[in-house]
Homo-oligomer: A and B are copies of this chain.
Amino acid sequence: MAHYQKMLRISTAGKSLSKITPKVQAVVAESGIQTGVCTLFLRHTSASLLIQENADPDVLKDLENFFSKLVPEWENYIHSTEGPDDMPAHIRTALTSTSEQIPVSRGRLVLGTWQGIYLWEHRQHGHTRELVVHVMGE
């Protein structure tokens, strides 16, 4: 049984989904682990993780549109000192995921054919986000 842990720094563009599947798969390959589980943990409260369709980029636009409408910036939030996009970013994070785990088999993530791993930036401007990738197994 081995544990392999690495922190990745990922630059995002404002309000968009960045595909990070190859970066995560590269850490799994580095770990040398063949059978196990890969845990992803994002160290932020205004960006989140999502496993979603990796084929048609329109799916990502519809996701962004839906969440922008569901959590509007023009609502009267009590927490407003960090800008109109900050509280909506917290709520969008609450509605999606801060952590994910994906089993590993034969040294690869067991993702389905249409699944990609995304880091979703919920703020108006891009940031550098820290993602901890932890692979455990044998």
Contact = CB atoms under 8 A, between A and B. Distances in A.
A33 to B, nearest CB: 10
A103 interface: yes
Stoichiometry (number of copies): 3
Interface in A90-112: 90-91, 93-103, 105, 110-112
| Chain A contact surface mostly | mixed
Contacts of A93: 52
Interface of A: 1, 3, 5, 7, 35-37, 39, 41, 43-45, 50-53, 56, 58-59, 61-63, 65-66, 70-71, 75, 77-79, 81, 87, 90-91, 93-103, 105, 110-115, 130, 132, 134, 136-138
